[in-house]
Amino acid sequence: MQRQLPLVFLAFLLIFILPLSALTPPLPLESQVNASNYIALARLTNVKESKISSSSISVTATVEVIKPLKGGSTLPQKFDLAFLVFPELFGKWLKATPQEGEYILFLIKKKVKDSKGNESETIALYEPHPYAFREYSKELEEKILSYVKN
Domains of the chain: 25-149 (2.40.50.120)
Structure confidence at residue 14 (pLDDT): 41
Dihedrals φ, ψ of 73, to 5°? -65, -25
Position 9 scores a pLDDT of 46
Q: Residue 104 forms beta bridges with which residues?
A: 41, 134
Q: What is the pLDDT along the chain (150 residues), one digit of tens a residue?
A: 444 444 444 444 344 444 444 446 667 889 889 999 999 999 999 989 888 877 778 888 899 999 999 987 788 899 888 887 776 655 545 556 778 889 999 999 888 888 888 888 888 888 877 788 888 999 999 999 999 886
Q: Measure the CA–CA gap between 42 and 63, rounded to whole angstroms.
A: 6
7 residue type, one letter: L
Residues paired with 135 in a beta bridge? 103
pLDDT of the residue at 145: 93
Please name the helix (run of DSSP H) or strand (run of DSSP E) that holds residue 136, with its range, or none.
none
pLDDT at site 41: 94
DSSP string, 25-63: PPPPHHHHHHH-SEEEEEEEEEEEEEEEETTEEEEEEEE
Q: Which pLDDT does position 17 carry in this prediction? A: 45
pLDDT computed for residue 125 by the predictor: 85
In this structure, the dihedral spanned by the alpha carbons of residues 50, 56, 60 and 65, taken in order and rounded to 10 degrees, is 150
Give the distance between the most distant pair of CA atoms in the chain: 60
AA letter at 150: N
pLDDT of amino acid 143: 94
Identity of residue 68: P
CB 141 within 8 A of CB 104: yes
